[in-house]
């Protein structure tokens, strides 16, 4: 069985991810009962759907429980005397052999004794292995307990920690595979590689009535893999964790760098007994546990938790000043541990729960009148009679909830933090000692270089015209990372014949599935660009000297600002990174210099290649220099004493800055790029003055980095620094180990000598001019692009003329003797060929072909329909993309043209995702990421939202649309499982597929996705196309599909999951040969996008984002669309050509069908004749790609989606079926539990099937439910279905609502002020009504486009991205309200109108008053309905005094929306033809209307 | 890029030309540059393609897709749009040594493969190019490029056509001592004597030769290598020799009556006309004045003959075209020709001129010449032809379609078979099918220090290919000499 930390083939166990359901149940009056243990375990069982289950359906991913040490139980059940409660500790541990009675026992005992403790005895923990699968039982360790008398030692935790550490080191040497689940005098942890319902059956102790505890913390794990994970089950010793720490690598590095000092501070003379703080082989959760546990030896755990996972404070001016000061102060001392996370910790005296700044993990709690608390990811996991409820709440983003058993109560966030923040005078320290250099006001100094010098440097660093005109200029002009279109079709750096910069060997990592990216624009409040220079103080000895570091607003500076720092109190050393000999030696030399400098108390090291201005030589790749020095100083224990500045001529792109920061630079000064901006101003390519433009450039680079970080879900620059959120492609393992230690990489590549050669060659100018550059634009003189004039024209001619010979010429052009892709490093082995007639026909093969997801909106209707028609003709599938689809296309026309996309995509914007849309899918694809911009959302600018696009997307013409970076219902793997479940409910006949982008670790993610019951997984290459995406992302994010596909196939095989899912791949597949490679590496279906576009006429203009496509493909402009000449027949020809070429290859390999080739890496060899002129390519090792596992290589088994056991198919639908079919009314009453998810979804889908998009008349099918509704109540329900639920509900109520009605009634009037529905309700809803008689969680009505809802209060990020509909909020809103809201209207009744307006002011929103009667009546009607359904007290109160409503309500309306609605109204007065009116309004580009043209009110 | 959506807002504009009537009175250039504003507007039309096909530079069958020298067309289009002619000129000079030649005489495959040509008129690339270079000359930006360091090695270039001139220009920039040998009286080769003055003003060439001389290049005219100067002398004096002798061996049409007086190669006719205009000869021996002229061959040279004969005030002209007349326009669902030329009917400048004077265009289509009609004293009187028809088996002569065309002057303009043999023989250079054997990578002939480029190597081709070869051969020679010196 596989051990953690091992690699097999491409699989690396360190890439595993997990997520989970967590919860605790406790009595705050310290009453111990067995019932608490029972209920906690029941809670665990009810969270089962959040846990993972292996391919066998029995194996879980891990579960566990923490309780108090059951003193009285142990007193009866150990065969030795135990002291009084609190006088002894219990260690529960796993080993691979029994310790008691072994030679190790004496050693163990000795370590305890050295610390003043006495071992009382050992106990074998009684287990019943019948409960678990046989293969799991085989892996079960010896589970033992050791009882230790404390003997009045003074610092108990510290002493136990020391003993444990020493035993751990001993066990490591003895290879005992020891793991302490807990060692404490207060708490104990029972856990294992179990399903949540197995823990109780395995551990006999837990069933005993004498086993009592005042608390129980439980955890159910969903891991991406199903491998032995006894240790990795939660809870950990101090905490349990739901989520992921994205910055873990940086945190570990920084922790390692500062650990000596911290260990010494705590342990003094005993410091040598503790070698390290964190176990770097542990999972991220275990590492967080290590760190928190360690810090808790020196402070209260809640304070330690605040330090590690701080609230966002920088943009959060509303916080208590002391608390902000506390956070700011500690930002000088430690970077945040950042990621979507919720932790819960317990030391016996206290239980805490904390969500990170984004609050992307749900946490709901209930406090009872008899002082119990239930806290969990969901409500309804412990039955509490409504009469017993004292309070229901939700843990909001960044908040901390603390149960203090000594105070018998919950200490509320603000009180707790204020208390902690007042312990030391942080605020006064900051006001007195914070260094302020006023850098913002230091002007950029124009250079005194002559033009020749500037040009010489630009040439040496290979600045190109393309970069100057289309990167630097655009970046400054538009103040953002420049946008490009179509995919990247240049070979990856290591395969490029041209000399590449080292930066290009690093690909940005991004979040997908197991953690979400974030929206750094709309959710800026959580971000921070702060960075620090100077040595770091001691975290454990807070005092004012800590503040002598210099705080920087941004990590990118100018030379003048650097000079100011040099003139400050910090001691600065410059280390030149110019060399002329060999690079390796030169690196060693600067390493020595750096060490010496730090030893001489230099607090800032400036790695500097500016010397090239005066002298000749080569600049080291700055990234290499920075990472080398960073790693070296960590190893030497010197890193925290200094900081690193990269003063670099090479650095000019956002990606470069991101790399430098990610590998350890604290500050970057891109001096040559700044000089180039100066030059561009002087040449009048940029308007404005030099200072302003350079500043814009510098600031925009910083902001660009924020966006790169956001792709990984990281919010603060500080935690991004050194976090190495990159994957290297093409560097040798030796280079990685030595200079980029810990960086992920799959295939070993070039050596340091080759880096040196390439660097020197690159810095030797080849022409006397500045080169054109050909990164995105093709140039005859430039580098190879897969799509070049020759390949494009051959492909077009071949398909138009149906000329296979021409196609072969095309295929020859792109495949023959080329080494542009990783696949080209391999060749098929010679086999005995068969006659091609024996191979399955092309008509069969083409059914495995799909076209890529291109939204209607990014491409024209003509192009979109042509693809659909072509693919339907051949039995392949086209993909709707994320923009919805015109319902008229669902119907096959009289001529037999079927223009309906077989694959309907569901992306984060949920445009057009209605019940009807989903019904018409053969396959529903969840786009988690897109090759050209993984980890990012999208934006369709208003100028492209033509009326017909708006109609299909359910939005307003001319108003820009945002696809958020994350799916707001997928923050983790168990969320994805839920979304898959939702969509399967919404159309139970469709296959659900999940599209991922290739990156290191995608295989493990894919395994998780397979366990989440996806039917197919798509692995997209990084080179996939886009209609608009930052160039940084097109080029630098993600890796080629070969790596991700092979890893996915291998990992699925290892987990026995490959037989359950299909695997598809895409990314610049052009020929049958390409498909053959993909097939052999593990794909059975294949996607094509750019090639079919080219067949239809695309000539790679790369202007899709500009709406000027001259061949009518990627444009909505009617004049240009008229020029579209693509034909379905041509696309059909292409598909057949590819299939035909694949048949030829199959015949040569002696195979009769595509299935026979899937995963046959044994048929591939590394290419033997990689030409000597391609030394870089020849250095690549591809062995790992070819690793083969035994077992089924393609899908043979259908996934079991467990729909039959669900509420709808067991209860509601059977009851309502006849009524639905006949369109008659039906009313039923039901009781719900949290495990019953997707209530009403299948029933709703049946209404749509029977009655179309229109559904049935309102309230025809009426279900009255009570209790705790599971997730996704009434999702996607159409008109005609009403669900009236009394009680509360979990997340995603009314998601995608398509006309139905949802009422959630508080169980009684007291509950109206509390939360009754969870997070992300009515996400992407398009139509329908909702009445929520209580507060909703975060992100209420996000991307709502038409639902009319009444709710009594909402959490943070309310109405985010909303594009339509009407929302009445009878209460307060949370933070960050209305961000990205571009349509619809909201009426807020806040507790303080003035305060609301002050707190929620946004440039995009108007706060209006209601002046018109008609509008007043609309509002009144909604309130009256709300009262009718829910008896809402608040609504009643407003209605009682409705004449004065204007004083209480704030009408919120997006400005753009209001203007456009007024324009439409104006146009409607001109013409009766609606389409014409809309188009005229769309074309009316006025920014203001004359007062008389402004309609009185838009509502 | 040019103006956003500029291609949707403006139409293509042609260069200004003198009126069809007026220009026939002289041999002056008939075409003029754009004004700066006009050029800017044309530049605004450029879409700055992600894949600029105009830059392709690939031979495809007999055709050329895009610019062989890879002119940075989108880049200078943009600069012209911004009216930054100086930078545009610099950018243009990076790839093109002689934009004033290509801007006047290039058939502009760039325009043919311009992406806009898929469904509208191309960008006026050639006109813009010409305007850039004219602007550069007018502003004195075109200056001799005297190398900073003069090297010891010297190179001889045989032939001063576009390939030879380009190689000379490039090698001189690298510091070599370059001497160009030209057997004619003035340098320029085909540019000087093959192309009539109205298309390429000879002063344009002289202006360039002048600058090249000022840059340090020596021109030895009236010097035929192998005749006036021996192989040994050259071998002795130069580290490398580049043969750019062109492909001037004209293809003959040896039918019955070929020996008759009044049947000439087109190139002889055009050369004499230029020599006459230049004042090198007192009177041309071949004249079209008052004659019925038959031009056999439908190419550019044929058209130049038509234009020249018109200016000589001939009586009539007919130009034979072997192929059937192409359609005026092709109706198509999708342009399956692009980036290749669409086979549609085109009128060259000469044809328009003829039409304006005589009311109909001068070409006859599907015409196969059978024999010459020669009178007893040996003067040509006419030409007998038959009609050719395009069938599945190719062009077939249709019986019973014989026709007599009266002619006092017959000009043969049916291409060239290759380079003349004098120089190859003198240097013992291997040829194959009338071309000097050398590849397009190192350009070396069978003699290690002798290189060949241009039409002499690749066969009859475009000026722009000659420039491309001249640049490439210069690199090859530089590499050769550098290697030799290093060893």
Chains A–B, number of C-beta pairs less than 8 Å apart: 100
Find out whether A1477 and A1468 touch, Cβ atoms under 8 Å.
yes
Find out whether A914 and A1326 touch, Cβ atoms under 8 Å.
yes
Say yes or no for a CB contact (<8 Å) between A789 and B4: no
CA angle, residues A547, A551, A553, in degrees to nearest 5: 160
Find out whether A32 and A68 touch, Cβ atoms under 8 Å.
yes
| Residues of chain B neighbouring A1095 (CB-CB closer than 8 A) | none
**Option in A769, A780, A1126 nearest B70 (CB):** A780
Say yes or no for a CB contact (<8 Å) between A486 and B339: no
- What is the three-class DSSP state of A894? coil
Residue of A nearest to B339 (CA): A793
What would the DSSP string read from start to end of A623-670?
Answer: HHHHHHHHHHHHHTT-GGG-EEEEE-SS--SHHHHHHHHHTT-SEEE-
Residue A1141 CB contacts under 8 Å (≥ 6 apart), including other chains: A807, A808, A811, A1071, A1072, A1073, A1075
- Average pLDDT on B350-358 reads 96
Contact of B334 with chain A, judged by CB distance below 8 Å, is answered with yes
At CB < 8 Å, which residues of chain A contact B?
465, 469, 485-486, 767, 769, 772, 776-781, 785, 787-790, 792-793, 797, 800-801, 1097, 1099-1103, 1106, 1108, 1110-1111, 1119-1120, 1123, 1125-1127
| Residues of chain B neighbouring A789 (CB-CB closer than 8 A) | 51, 53, 55-56, 58, 65-66, 113, 339
What would the DSSP string read from start to end of B130-176?
Answer: HHHHHHHHHTT-------SS--S-EEEEE--SHHHHHHHHHHHHTT-
To the nearest 5 percent, what fractions of chain A are helix, strand and coil?
Answer: 40, 20, 40
Structure confidence at residue B107 (pLDDT): 94
Residue of B nearest to A1099 (CA): B51
Contact of B57 with chain A, judged by CB distance below 8 Å, is answered with yes
Q: What is the number of residues in chain B?
A: 487
Number of DSSP helices (H) and strands (E) in chain B, helices first:
16, 21
CA–centroid distance for B186 within its chain? 17
B108 pLDDT exceeds 70? yes
Find out whether B39 and B128 touch, Cβ atoms under 8 Å.
yes
What would the DSSP string read from start to end of B219-246?
Answer: EE-S--BTTTB-HHHHHHH-SEEEE---
Sign for the pseudo-dihedral over CA of A1427, A1431, A1433, A1437: positive
Structure confidence at residue A51 (pLDDT): 79
- What is the three-class DSSP state of A494? helix
- What is the three-class DSSP state of A54? coil
How far away is chain B from the Cα of A1075, in angstroms, using its nearest Cα?
25
Query: What is the C-alpha end-to-end distance of chain B, expressed in Å?
Result: 47
Q: CA nearest A258: which of A590, A642, A683, A684? A: A642
Pick the residue of B44, B51, B332 with the most A CBs within 10 A to test the interface with A by mutation: B51
Chunked mean pLDDT (size 10), chain A, 1499 residues: 65 78 94 97 90 79 94 94 95 96 96 97 95 89 97 94 96 95 97 91 96 96 77 89 87 92 94 91 87 95 95 86 95 91 93 90 93 94 93 92 96 94 96 93 91 96 96 96 92 95 97 90 91 95 95 96 96 97 98 98 97 95 98 95 97 98 98 97 94 96 94 93 95 97 94 97 92 95 95 96 97 89 95 97 98 94 97 97 93 92 96 96 96 87 92 92 93 93 97 96 94 96 89 93 96 94 96 98 97 96 93 95 95 98 98 97 90 84 93 94 94 97 96 95 97 96 97 97 97 97 93 93 97 97 97 96 97 95 97 95 95 94 97 96 93 96 93 93 92 84
For helices A426-433 and A321-331, angle between their N-to-C axes, nearest 10 degrees: 60
Strand stretches in A1179-1307, DSSP E: 1226-1232, 1261-1269, 1281-1289, 1298-1305
Query: What distance in Å separates the CA atoms of residue B67 and residue B108, rounded to the nearest whole number?
Result: 8
Query: What distance in Å separates the CA atoms of residue A625 and residue A660, rounded to the nearest whole number?
Result: 10
What would the DSSP string read from start to end of B460-484?
Answer: S--HHHHHHHHHHHHHHHHHHHHHH
Contact of B470 with chain A, judged by CB distance below 8 Å, is answered with no
Query: What distance in Å separates the CA atoms of residue B114 and residue A11, rounded to the nearest whole number?
Result: 49
| Residues of chain B neighbouring A778 (CB-CB closer than 8 A) | 50-52, 55
Residue of A nearest to B332 (CA): A1125
- Average pLDDT on B297-304 reads 94
Residue of A nearest to B64 (CA): A790
Give the helix/strand (H/E) hosting B309.
helix B300-311
Contact of B47 with chain A, judged by CB distance below 8 Å, is answered with yes
Query: What distance in Å separates the CA atoms of residue A577 and residue A609, rounded to the nearest whole number?
Result: 5
Say yes or no for a CB contact (<8 Å) between B55 and A1125: no
List B residues 89-128 in contact with A (Cβ-Cβ < 8 A): 94-95, 113, 115-116, 118-119
Residue of A nearest to B68 (CA): A780
Pick the residue of A780, A790, A806, A1114 with the most B CBs within 10 A to test the interface with B by mutation: A780
- What is the three-class DSSP state of A871? helix
**Option in B8, B115, B334 nearest A1099 (CB):** B115
Which residues make beta-bridge pairs with A1348? Answer: A1329, A1366
| Residues of chain A neighbouring B74 (CB-CB closer than 8 A) | 777
pTM, 2 dp: 0.95
How far away is chain B from the Cα of A485, in angstroms, using its nearest Cα?
9
Find out whether A602 and A572 touch, Cβ atoms under 8 Å.
yes
Query: What distance in Å separates the CA atoms of residue B118 and residue B127, rounded to the nearest whole number?
Result: 20
Structure confidence at residue A455 (pLDDT): 96
Neighbours of A131 (CB within 10 A): 17
Torsion of CA B311, B312, B318, B319, to 10 degrees: -70
Active site residue A20: yes
Contact of B9 with chain A, judged by CB distance below 8 Å, is answered with no
Residue B350 CB contacts under 8 Å (≥ 6 apart), including other chains: B303, B304, B305, B306, B307, B310, B362
**Distances from the Cα of A264 to the Cαs of A273, A636, B209, in angstroms?**
10, 16, 83
Give the helix/strand (H/E) hosting B79.
helix B73-81
Residue of A nearest to B82 (CA): A685
Say yes or no for a CB contact (<8 Å) between A788 and B51: yes
What would the DSSP string read from start to end of A1430-1442?
Answer: H--HHHHHHHHTG
Q: CA nearest A881: which of A903, A862, A905? A: A905
| Residues of chain B neighbouring A1028 (CB-CB closer than 8 A) | none
Three-state secondary structure readout of A687-746: CCCHHHHHHHHHHHHHHHHHHHHHHCCCCEHHHHCCCCCEEECCECHHHHHHHCCCCEEC
B214 pLDDT exceeds 80? yes
Residue B284 carries which DSSP code?
A: -
Exposure string of A226-241, with b = 16+ CB inside 10 Å and e = fewer, is bbbbbbbbbbbbbbbb
Say yes or no for a CB contact (<8 Å) between B70 and A779: yes
What would the DSSP string read from start to end of A1312-1353?
Answer: GGSEEE-SSTTTT--EEEEEESSEE-SSTTTT-EEEEEEES-
Residue A1297 CB contacts under 8 Å (≥ 6 apart), including other chains: A1274, A1275, A1276, A1277, A1322, A1325, A1326, A1327, A1328, A1330, A1347
Query: What distance in Å separates the CA atoms of residue A771 and residue A498, rounded to the nearest whole number?
Result: 13
pLDDT-based confidence at residue B1 (cuts at 50, 70, 90): low
- Beta strands B367-374 and B380-391, pairing class: antiparallel
Say yes or no for a CB contact (<8 Å) between A777 and B52: yes
Say yes or no for a CB contact (<8 Å) between B51 and A790: no
Residue A469 carries which DSSP code?
A: I
Neighbours of A1123 (CB within 10 A): 18
Q: What is the CA radius of gyration of chain A?
A: 32
How far away is chain A from the Cα of B451, in angstroms, using its nearest Cα?
23
Structure confidence at residue A1310 (pLDDT): 83
Question: What ipTM was assigned to the predicted interfaces of this complex?
Answer: 0.94
CA–centroid distance for B395 within its chain? 28
Q: CA nearest A1371: which of A1306, A1438, A1295, A1431? A: A1438
Which residues make beta-bridge pairs with B59? Answer: B64
Say yes or no for a CB contact (<8 Å) between A1101 and B49: yes
Pick the residue of B50, B64, B148 with the most A CBs within 10 A to test the interface with A by mutation: B50
| Residues of chain B neighbouring A1110 (CB-CB closer than 8 A) | 7, 47, 115-116, 118-119
Q: Is the peptide bond before A1342 cis (omega within 30 degrees of 0)?
A: no
Query: What distance in Å separates the CA atoms of residue A1154 and residue A1462, rounded to the nearest whole number?
Result: 58
Query: Burial of A6 by CB count in 10 Å (0-12 exposed, 13-18 middle, 19+ buried)?
Result: exposed
Say yes or no for a CB contact (<8 Å) between A778 and B50: yes
């Amino acid at each position: 069985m596989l051990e953690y930390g091992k690699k097999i083939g491409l699989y690396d166990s360190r890439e595993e991810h997990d997520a989970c359901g967590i919860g605790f149940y406790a009595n705050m009056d310290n009453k111990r009962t067995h019932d608490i243990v029972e209920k906690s375990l029941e809670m665990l069982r009810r969270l089962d759907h959040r846990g993972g289950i292996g391919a066998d359906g029995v194996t879980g991913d891990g579960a566990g429980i923490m309780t108090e040490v059951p003193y009285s139980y142990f007193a009866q059940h150990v065969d030795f005397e135990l002291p009084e409660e609190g006088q002894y500790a219990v260690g529960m541990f796993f080993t691979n052999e029994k310790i008691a009675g072994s030679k190790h026992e004496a050693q163990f005992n000795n370590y305890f004794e050295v610390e003043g403790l006495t071992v009382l005895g050992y106990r074998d923990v009684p287990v019943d292995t019948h409960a678990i699968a046989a293969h799991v039982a085989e892996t079960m360790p010896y589970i033992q307990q050791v009882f230790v008398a404390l003997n009045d030692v003074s610092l108990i935790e510290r002493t136990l920690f020391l003993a444990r550490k020493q035993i751990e080191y001993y066990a490591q040497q003895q290879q005992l595979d020891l793991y302490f689940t807990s060692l404490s005098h207060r708490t104990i942890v029972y856990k294992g590689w179990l399903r949540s319902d197995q823990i109780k059956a395995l551990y006999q102790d837990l069933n005993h009535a004498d086993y009592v505890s005042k608390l129980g913390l439980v955890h159910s794990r969903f891991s991406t893999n199903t491998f032995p994970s006894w240790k990795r089950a939660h809870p950990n010793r101090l905490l349990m964790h739901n989520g992921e720490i994205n910055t873990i690598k940086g945190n570990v590095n920084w922790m390692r760098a500062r650990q000596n000092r911290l260990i010494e501070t705590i342990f003094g003379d005993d410091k040598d007994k503790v070698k390290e703080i964190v176990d770097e082989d542990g999972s991220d959760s275990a590492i967080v546990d290590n760190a928190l546990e360690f810090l808790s030896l020196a402070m209260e755990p809640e304070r330690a938790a605040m330090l590690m996972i701080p609230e966002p404070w920088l943009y959060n001016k509303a916080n208590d000043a002391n608390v902000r000061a506390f956070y700011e102060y500690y930002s000088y001392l430690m970077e945040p541990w950042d990621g979507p996370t919720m932790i819960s910790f317990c030391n016996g005296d206290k239980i805490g729960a904390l969500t990170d700044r984004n609050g992307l993990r749900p946490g709901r709690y209930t406090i009872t009148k008899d002082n119990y608390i239930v806290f969990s990811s969901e409500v309804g996991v412990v039955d509490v009679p409504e009469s017993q409820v004292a309070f229901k709440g939700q843990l909001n983003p960044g908040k901390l909830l603390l149960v203090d058993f000594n105070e018998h109560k919950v200490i509320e966030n603000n009180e707790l933090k204020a208390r902690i923040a007042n312990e030391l005078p942080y605020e006064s320290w900051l006001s007195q000692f914070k260094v302020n250099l006023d850098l913002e006001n230091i002007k950029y100094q124009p250079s005194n270089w002559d033009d020749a010098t500037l040009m010489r440097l630009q040439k040496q660093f290979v600045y190109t015209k393309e970069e100057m005109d289309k990167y630097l200029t655009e970046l400054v002009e538009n103040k953002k990372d420049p946008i490009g279109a179509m995919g990247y079709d240049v070979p990856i750096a290591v395969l490029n014949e041209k000399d590449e910069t080292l930066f290009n060997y690093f690909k940005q990592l991004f979040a997908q599935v197991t953690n979400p990216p974030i929206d750094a624009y709309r959710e800026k409040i959580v971000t921070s660009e702060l960075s620090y220079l100077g040595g770091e103080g001691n975290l454990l000895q807070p005092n004012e000297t800590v503040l002598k570091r210099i705080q920087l607003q941004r990590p990118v500076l100018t030379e003048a600002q650097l000079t100011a720092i040099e003139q400050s109190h910090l001691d600065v050393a410059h280390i030149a990174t110019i060399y002329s000999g060999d690079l390796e030696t030169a690196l060693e030399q600067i390493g020595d210099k750096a060490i010496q400098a730090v030893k001489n108390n230099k607090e800032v090291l400036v790695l500097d290649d500016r010397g090239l201005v005066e002298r000749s030589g080569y600049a080291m790749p700055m990234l290499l220099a920075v990472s080398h020095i960073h790693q070296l100083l960590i190893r030497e224990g010197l890193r925290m004493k200094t900081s690193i500045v990269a003063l670099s001529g090479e650095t000019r792109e956002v990606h470069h800055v991101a790399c430098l920061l990610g590998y350890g630079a604290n500050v970057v000064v891109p001096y040559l790029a700044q000089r180039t901006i100066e030059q561009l101003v002087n040449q009048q390519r940029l308007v404005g003055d030099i200072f302003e433009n350079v500043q814009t450039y510098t600031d925009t680079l910083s902001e660009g980095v924020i966006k790169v970080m956001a792709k990984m879900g990281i919010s603060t620059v500080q935690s991004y620094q050194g976090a190495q959120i990159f994957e290297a492609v093409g560097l040798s393992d030796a280079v990685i180990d030595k200079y980029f230690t810990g960086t992920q990489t799959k295939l070993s590549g070039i050596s340091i000598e080759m880096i040196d050669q390439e660097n020197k060659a690159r810095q030797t100018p080849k022409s006397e001019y500045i080169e054109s550059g050909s990164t995105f634009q093709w140039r005859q003189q430039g580098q190879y692009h897969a799509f070049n004039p020759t390949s494009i024209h051959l492909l077009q001619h071949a398909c138009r003329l149906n000329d296979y010979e021409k196609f072969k010429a095309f295929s020859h052009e792109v495949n023959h003797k080329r080494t542009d892709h990783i696949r080209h490093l391999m060749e098929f082995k010679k086999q005995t060929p068969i006659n091609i007639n024996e191979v399955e026909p092309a008509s069969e093969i083409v059914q495995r072909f799909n076209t890529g997801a291109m939204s209607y909106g990014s491409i024209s209707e003509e192009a979109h329909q042509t693809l659909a028609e072509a693919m339907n003709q051949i039995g392949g599938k086209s993909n709707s993309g994320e923009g919805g689809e015109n319902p008229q296309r669902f119907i096959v026309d009289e001529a037999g043209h079927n223009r309906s996309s077989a694959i309907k995509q569901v992306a984060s914007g949920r445009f057009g995702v209605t019940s009807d849309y989903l019904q018409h899918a053969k396959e529903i694809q969840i786009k988690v990421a897109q090759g050209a911009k993984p980890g990012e959302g999208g934006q369709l600018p208003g100028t492209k939202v033509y009326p017909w696009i708006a109609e299909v997307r359910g939005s307003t013409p001319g108003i820009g649309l945002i696809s958020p970076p994350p799916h707001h219902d997928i923050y983790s793997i168990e969320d994805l499982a839920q979304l898959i479940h939702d969509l399967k409910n919404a159309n139970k006949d469709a296959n659900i597929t999940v599209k991922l982008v290739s990156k290191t670790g995608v295989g493990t993610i894919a395994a998780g996705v397979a366990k989440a019951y996806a039917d197919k997984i798509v692995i997209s290459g990084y080179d996939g196309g886009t209609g608009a995406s930052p160039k940084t992302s097109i080029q630098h994010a993600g890796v080629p599909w070969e790596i991700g596909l092979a890893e996915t196939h291998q990992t699925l095989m290892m987990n026995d999951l490959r037989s359950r899912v299909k695997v598809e791949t895409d990314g610049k597949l052009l020929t049958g040969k390409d498909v053959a490679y993909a097939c052999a590496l593990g794909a059975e279906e294949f996607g094509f996008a750019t090639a079919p576009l080219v067949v239809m006429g695309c000539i790679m203009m790369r202007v899709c984002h500009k709406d000027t496509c001259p061949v009518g493909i990627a444009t909505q402009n009617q004049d240009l669309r008229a020029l579209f000449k693509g034909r379905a027949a041509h696309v059909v020809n292409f598909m057949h050509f590819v299939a035909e070429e694949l048949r030829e290859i199959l015949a040569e390999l002696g195979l009769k069908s595509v299935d026979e080739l899937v995963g046959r890496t044994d048929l591939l060899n590394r290419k033997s004749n990689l030409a000597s002129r391609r030394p870089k390519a020849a250095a690549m090792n591809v062995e790992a790609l070819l690793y083969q596992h035994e077992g089924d290589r393609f899908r043979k088994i259908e996934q079991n989606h467990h729909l039959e056991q669900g509420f709808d198919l067991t209860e509601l639908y059977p009851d309502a079926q006849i009524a639905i079919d006949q369109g008659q009314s039906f009313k039923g009453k039901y009781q719900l539990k949290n495990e019953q998810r997707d209530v009403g979804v299948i029933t709703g889908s049946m209404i749509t099937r029977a009655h179309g998009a229109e559904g049935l008349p309102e309230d025809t099918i009426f279900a009255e439910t009570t209790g705790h509704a599971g997730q996704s109540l009434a999702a996607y329900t159409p008109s005609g279905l009403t669900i009236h639920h009394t009680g509360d509900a979990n997340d995603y109520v009314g998601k995608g609502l398509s006309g139905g009605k949802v009422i959630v009634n508080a169980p009684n009037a007291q509950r109206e002020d509390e939360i009754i529905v969870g997070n992300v309700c009515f996400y992407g809803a398009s139509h329908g009504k909702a009445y929520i008689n209580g507060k909703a969680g975060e992100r209420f009505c996000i991307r709502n486009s038409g639902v009319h809802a009444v709710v009594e209060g909402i959490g943070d990020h309310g109405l985010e991205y909303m594009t339509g509909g009407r929302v009445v909020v009878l209460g307060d809103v949370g933070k960050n309200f209305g961000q990205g809201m571009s349509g619809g209207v909201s009426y807020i009744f806040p507790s303080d109108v003035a305060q609301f307006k002050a707190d929620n002011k946004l440039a995009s929103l108007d706060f209006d008053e209601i002046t018109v009667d008609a509008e007043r009546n609309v509002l009144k009607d909604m309130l009256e309905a709300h009262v009718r359904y829910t008896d809402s007290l608040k609504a009643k109160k407003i209605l009682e005094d409705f004449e004065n409503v204007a004083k209480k309500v704030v009408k919120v309306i997006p400005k753009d929306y209001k203007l456009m609605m007024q324009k439409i109204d104006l146009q409607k007065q001109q013409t009766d033809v609606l389409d014409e009116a809309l188009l005229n309004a769309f074309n009316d580009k006025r920014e203001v209307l004359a007062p008389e043209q402004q309609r009185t009110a838009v509502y | 890029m040019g103006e956003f959506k500029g291609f949707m807002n403006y139409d293509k504009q042609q260069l200004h030309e003198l009126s069809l009537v007026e220009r026939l009175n002289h041999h002056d250039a008939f075409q003029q540059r754009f004004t700066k504003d006009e050029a800017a507007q044309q530049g605004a039309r450029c879409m700055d393609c992600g894949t600029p096909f105009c830059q392709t530079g690939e031979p495809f069958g007999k055709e050329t897709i895009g610019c062989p020298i890879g002119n940075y067309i989108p880049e200078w289009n943009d600069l012209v749009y911004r009216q930054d002619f100086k930078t545009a000129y610099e950018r243009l000079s990076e790839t093109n040594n002689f934009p004033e030649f290509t801007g006047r005489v290039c058939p502009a495959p760039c325009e043919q493969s311009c992406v806009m040509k898929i469904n509208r008129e191309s960008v006026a690339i050639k006109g813009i190019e010409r305007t850039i270079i004219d602007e550069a000359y007018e502003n004195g930006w075109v200056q001799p490029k005297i190398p900073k360091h003069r090297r010891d090695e010297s190179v001889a270039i045989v032939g001063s056509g576009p390939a030879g001139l380009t190689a000379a220009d490039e090698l001189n920039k690298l510091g070599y001592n370059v001497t160009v040998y030209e057997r004619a009286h003035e340098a320029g080769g085909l540019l000087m004597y093959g192309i009539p003055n109205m298309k390429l003003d000879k002063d344009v060439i002289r202006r360039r030769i002048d600058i090249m001389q000022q840059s340090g290049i020596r021109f030895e005219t009236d010097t035929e290598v192998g005749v006036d100067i021996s192989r040994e002398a050259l071998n002795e004096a130069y580290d490398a020799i580049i043969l750019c002798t062109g492909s001037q061996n004209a293809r003959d049409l040896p039918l019955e009556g070929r020996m008759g007086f009044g049947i000439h190669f087109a190139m002889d006719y055009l050369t004499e006309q230029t020599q006459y205009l230049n004042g090198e000869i007192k009177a041309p021996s071949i004249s079209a004045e008052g004659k019925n002229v038959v031009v056999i061959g439908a190419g550019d040279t044929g058209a130049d003959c038509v234009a020249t004969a018109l200016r000589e005030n001939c009586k009539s002209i007919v130009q034979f075209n072997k192929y059937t007349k192409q359609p005026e326009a092709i109706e198509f669902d999708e342009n399956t020709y692009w980036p290749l030329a669409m086979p549609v009917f085109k009128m060259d400048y000469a044809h328009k001129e003829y039409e304006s004077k005589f009311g109909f265009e001068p070409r006859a289509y599907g015409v196969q010449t059978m024999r010459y009609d020669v009178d007893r004293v040996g003067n040509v009187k006419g030409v007998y032809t038959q009609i050719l028809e395009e069938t599945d088996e190719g062009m077939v002569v249709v019986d019973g379609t014989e026709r007599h065309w009266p002619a006092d002057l017959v000009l043969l303009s049916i291409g060239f078979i290759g380079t003349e043999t004098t120089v190859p023989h003198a240097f013992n250079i291997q040829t194959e099918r009338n071309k000097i054997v050398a590849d397009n990578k190192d350009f070396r002939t069978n003699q290690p220090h002798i290189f060949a480029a241009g039409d002499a190597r690749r066969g009859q081709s475009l000026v722009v290919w000659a420039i491309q070869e001249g640049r490439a051969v210069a690199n090859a020679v530089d590499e050769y000499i550098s290697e030799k010196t290093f060893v």
